[in-house]
Amino acid sequence: METTRQELFEKLVALHEKLSQDSIHYWKLYSGFNTWQFWACLAIMVGPIIVIYFTIDRRRIFHIGFFGFAVHVLFAYFDASGIRYGLWGYPYQVLPFLPSLSLDAAIIPVAIMLVYQWTVKHSKNFYLYAFLTAIAFGFAFKPLLVSLNLFEMYKWVNYPFIFLIYLVLFVLAYWLTRLFLRMKREI
């Protein structure tokens, strides 16, 4: 008998609900408040937010903030896709329903925001410094997370691929920001 669209959709909804319940159960067992991994992930999330609060150029706050938000959104979508397709995962999380919150929401956007802010302020080549930042994240930060078991790669994913992801998403956020700045000037 052929399954209808509604039956298949309801099965998918039930699977998502089961996955959410299992994720919360896993989090309680292995990622909860009583683990050092929880506190490390929380520090990776909160620390950069404190840094950006004190270092962001207040005169360009919306410009720099838009760029950081663009980075955040691009990484959130791409990271969620990688998790969903089983390319990588985060065994320990701040919140069980947002598996990469500490990386997407804070450290990556804040780091590249500071790089972007510096390149704008000093008229430096963003592409060069984005490239260097992608190298640092792809070949130093990610291996550190792997060694601490805070990040795991599966299938064909490797550090050069992670580096390329960072670089492409940094450049896309840059282009998006430039597009919006150009549109603003046209008013």
What is the domain extent for residue 51? 32-185
In a domain, 26, yes or no: no
Segment 140-146 mean pLDDT? 94
Q: What is the pLDDT of residue 96?
A: 80
In a domain, 98, yes or no: yes
- CA 132, 57, 46, 71 dihedral sign is negative
**Total domains, the chain:** 1
pLDDT at 1 over 60: no
- Indicate the residue type of 115: V
In a domain, 158, yes or no: yes
In a domain, 73, yes or no: yes
Look up tokens 């929401």; give the residue.
105
Helix (H, G, I), strand (E, B) or coil at 32: coil
In a domain, 103, yes or no: yes
Give the confidence band of 144 by pLDDT, cuts at 50, 70, 90.
very high
In a domain, 16, yes or no: no
When the pLDDT of each residue in the chain is averaged and rounded to a whole number, the result is: 92
- For 15-61, the pLDDT digits (tens) are 989 988 998 898 888 888 899 988 998 998 899 999 999 999 999 99
